[in-house]
Amino acid sequence: MSQQPILQAKGLVKRFGRVVALDHADFDLYPGEVLGVIGDNGAGKSTLIKALSGAVQPDEGEVLLDGQPVVFPSPISARDAGIETVYQTLALSPALSIADNMFLGREIRKPGIRGAIFKQLDKREMERFAREKLTELGLMTIQNISQAVETLSGGQRQGVAVARAAAFGSKVIIMDEPTAALGVKESRRVLELINDVRARGIPIVLISHNMPHVFEVADRIHVHRLGRRLCVIKPSECTMSDAVAYMTGAKEPPQDAAAA
């Protein structure tokens, strides 16, 4: 690709004691694409994503956003830079409303003295914004924006987490196993959501063990093995069994893919 990656990592190293989780790992995400990230358990996928989203600090190497070196001391600093992460656990508070969950940690306060001094929240504005964002992604099957998240189905909860990321993730959205705990129908809705977000021009990093899902929505697939990027493949030029073989070490990737 001739264009510049929007998010890039070069030579990331992360050690936990004697365990090398990242071994000079590289990563490239280009504007407007869905990049699948696959790898066997223990390959270092999670550590790579945590390094990109500020949850862990790499011992060596650098992360670049829009071509500029960045250091994220925390996930909040990555979020402030426009990188939103939808974790497998969703990071939602079940007892709070949909609107409250959308604004968790970035609540809107009322204008003037009520907000500045008395810290009153502007519930109406938060609910209006939440409803608007859910409608944009076709999620307004949820009737009541003020209902508690614990009353929603698994797919609806995933939808709220994705809508939150899409609302605030101006540069990149990282999704960690978004369909892992969902049924067939709800998984289908999440894949549609991924396509909806991509259509709005926001690139997505999709970490998943579900090969059919990755092959369906990804433009390119990053294969992670033994703490580093083994190769990058295109779903149109590779079979799922090839991808699994690369991932497990049963087969060597072609030279052009390994150099990508």
Q: Give tens-digit pLDDT for 172-183.
A: 999 988 888 777
Asked whether residue 37 falls in the same domain as residue 163, the answer is yes
Asked whether residue 141 falls in the same domain as residue 209, the answer is no
Residue bearing the bigger pLDDT, 203 or 144: 203
Q: What pLDDT shows up at residue 258?
A: 58
Q: Are 199 and 215 in contact (CB under 8 A)?
A: no
- Residue 194 CA to chain centroid, in angstroms? 10
* Mean pLDDT of all residues in 58-73: 96
How many other β-carbons are positioned within 10 Å of the β-carbon of residue 126? 22
pTM: 0.88
Sign (positive or negative) of CA dihedral 19, 220, 184, 201: positive
Q: H helices of 92-122, where? A: 98-102, 113-116
Domain tally, the chain? 2
Asked whether residue 134 falls in the same domain as residue 62, the answer is no
Asked whether residue 32 falls in the same domain as residue 158, the answer is yes
Asked whether residue 19 falls in the same domain as residue 37, the answer is yes
Q: What pLDDT shows up at residue 2?
A: 54
In a domain, 12, yes or no: yes
At position 36, the amino acid (one-letter code) is G
| Residue 114, domain extent | 106-147
Residue bearing the bigger pLDDT, 258 or 94: 94
DSSP code for 81:
T
Q: What pLDDT shows up at residue 115?
A: 82
Helix (H, G, I), strand (E, B) or coil at 73: coil
| Residue 2 falls in which region: left (phi positive, over 0), alpha (psi -120 to 50) or beta | alpha
In a domain, 256, yes or no: no
Is 174 exposed, middle or buried, given 0-12, 13-18 or 19+ CB atoms closer than 10 A? Answer: buried
- Among 26-35, 79-88, 161-170, the minimum mean pLDDT is found in 161-170
Q: Is residue 129 pLDDT above 80, yes or no?
A: yes
Q: Give tens-digit pLDDT for 148-181.
A: 999 988 878 888 888 888 888 789 999 988 888 7
